[in-house]
Amino acid sequence: MSRMNLLQAVNNALDTAMAADERVLCFGEDVGIFGGVFRATSHLQEKYGRARCFNTPLVEQGIIGFANGLAAQGSVPVAEIQFADYIYPAFDQLVNETAKFRYRSGNLFDVGGLTVRAPYGGGIAGGHYHSQSPEAYFAHTPGLTVVVPRNPHQAKGLLLASIRSPDPVIFFEPKRLYRASVGEVPDEDYELPLRQAEVIKEGNDITLLAWGAQMEVIEQAAEMAEKEGVSCELIDLRTIVPWDIETVVQSVLKTGRLIVSHEAPLTGGFASEIAATIQSRCFLYLESPIERVTGLDTPFPLTLEKEYMPGPLKVLDAIHRTMDF
């Protein structure tokens, strides 16, 4: 066990994966000698050489196209997109290529080895081009797996599982936690399961569901609510798609109430999918409407970032609305 922040945990996972399998490669803009603008790939070029850890030219569609080809060849590429906000030039390669590679070839070819890492989310005074949470775009794309860790321990285990998953994975790292989230992380090689949500805390009155940095927010809201006597069950979805419906259904069958929270705008955010599914599967058990506490239907702002963000008090307000319904 070592104390690490989330960035160090990611770096450690990459190091572990590269040491264990020489087919693993890390690349992207500034990931070489510099170790990435956040330093997630620090020292990897020194340790594994320029052939396995390198800078690419500044072209996201090329990075992912290149990575798709490498994965098809049998390598295990871990491509970094410098900010999730800049993943869109690669949208075609991800949505039309990565996601459909196995299906369209009847499994003759696949890019299962591919992992795309990208720092994402707000809370760092980044404005609309350094704060976005684009998970819902990819969640509407069959063939893709989208994973988000909430702390360093999760980050290492989920990233190792993603790299080794037989399916391509987009791994969004909540950059607000990069240095802020610190915890014990096993030194050895370990994986945490994909496609499984985790019940972080059991409770009876209401289920609060989120992922990534937003977990902290719902935890804070839950703490406040508990003081008022509301018993909250907390779930970290962890894998956004394919998502763990069963765990959420079981929880809501018990609590009868659900709040889903994410930073991305409300309309078409992934909370809508969860609400749509749960209202259908738990219809007779729901005591109040499923609430979504999310970003506004606007681009991500700067000066008024705090106002935009779905902070703990907004979640608490929603808990009140839901409990008092």
Partner 1 sequence: MKKNQTTVKPVHKPIFANGDDIQIPVFTQLKPDGTVYADAGPSSLDEPTARRIYRAMLYTRVLDERMLAAQRQGRLSFYMQCTGEEAAVIGSTAALDDADMIMAQYREQGALAYRGFTTDEFMDQLFGNERDPAHGRQMPIHYGSRDLYYLTISSPLATQIPQATGYAYGQKLAGKGNCTLTIFGEGAASEGDFHAALNMASVHKVPVIFLCRNNGYAISTPVAEQFAGDGIAARAFGYRMQSIRVDGNDILAMYEATREARRLAVEQNEPVLIEAMTYRLAAHSSSDDPSGYRSKKEEEAWHKKDPLRRMQRWLIEHGWWNEDEERELTESLRREVLDGMKQAEKRRPPALETLVSDVYAETPPLLREQFEALEAHIRRHPETYPKSAPWLDDDSATEGRA
Q: What's the length of the chain? A: 325
Residue 33 is a binding residue for partner 1 (CB under 8 A): yes
Give the H/E segment covering residue 174. strand 169-174
Total residues in contact with partner 1, by rule CB under 8 A: 81
Do the Cβ atoms of 200 and 235 come closer than 8 Å?
yes
Q: How many other β-carbons are positioned within 10 Å of the β-carbon of residue 17? A: 23
CB half-sphere exposure, 321, CA atoms < 13 A? 13
Residue 97 is a binding residue for ligand TPP (CB under 6 A): no
Report the residue number, 3 or 128, with the smaller CB distance to partner 1. Answer: 128
Nearest approach in angstroms of CB 226 to partner 1 is 19
Q: Is 107 exposed, middle or buried (0-12, 13-18, 19+ CB in 10 A)?
A: exposed
The pair of three-digit structure tokens given for residue 250, joined into one six-digit string: 């079981």
Q: Is 141 exposed, middle or buried (0-12, 13-18, 19+ CB in 10 A)?
A: middle
The single residue of 80, 97, 130, 273 carrying the catalytic annotation is 130
> What is the DSSP secondary structure assignment for residue 108, as one 8-state letter?
S
Among 195, 224, 253, 254, binds partner 1 (CB under 8 A): 195
Region 104-163 residues binding partner 1, contact defined as CB under 8 A: 104-110, 112, 125-130, 142-143, 145
* Locus of tokens 């850890």: 53
Residue 91 is a binding residue for ligand TPP (CB under 6 A): no
- Nearest partner of 135 among 260, 305, 286, 263, judged by Cα: 263
Report the residue number, 2 or 73, with the smaller CB distance to partner 1. Answer: 73
Calculate the alpha carbon distances from 258 to 202, 268, 295, 315 in Å. 13, 18, 18, 11
Residue 58 is a binding residue for ligand TPP (CB under 6 A): yes
Report the residue number, 80 or 244, with the smaller CB distance to ligand TPP. Answer: 80
Report the residue number, 201 or 314, with the smaller CB distance to partner 1. Answer: 314
User: If contact means CB under 5 to 8 A according to the sort of partner, which of ligand TPP, partner 1, its own copies, none does residue 120 touch?
Assistant: none
Phi, psi of 184 (to 5 degrees): -75, 130
Region 6-35 residues binding ligand TPP, contact defined as CB under 6 A: 29
From the list 13-21, 149-157, 238-246, 252-260, the region that binds partner 1 by CB under 8 A is 238-246
Task: Mark residues 107-146: x for contact with its own copies by CB under 8 A, - for none.
Answer: ---------------------xx------xx-xxxxx---
Active site residues: 60, 130
Contact residues: its own copies, CB under 8 A: 61, 85, 88-89, 91-92, 95-96, 99-100, 103-104, 128-129, 136-137, 139-143, 241, 243, 264-265, 267-273, 275-277, 279-281, 283, 286, 288-292, 296-299, 325
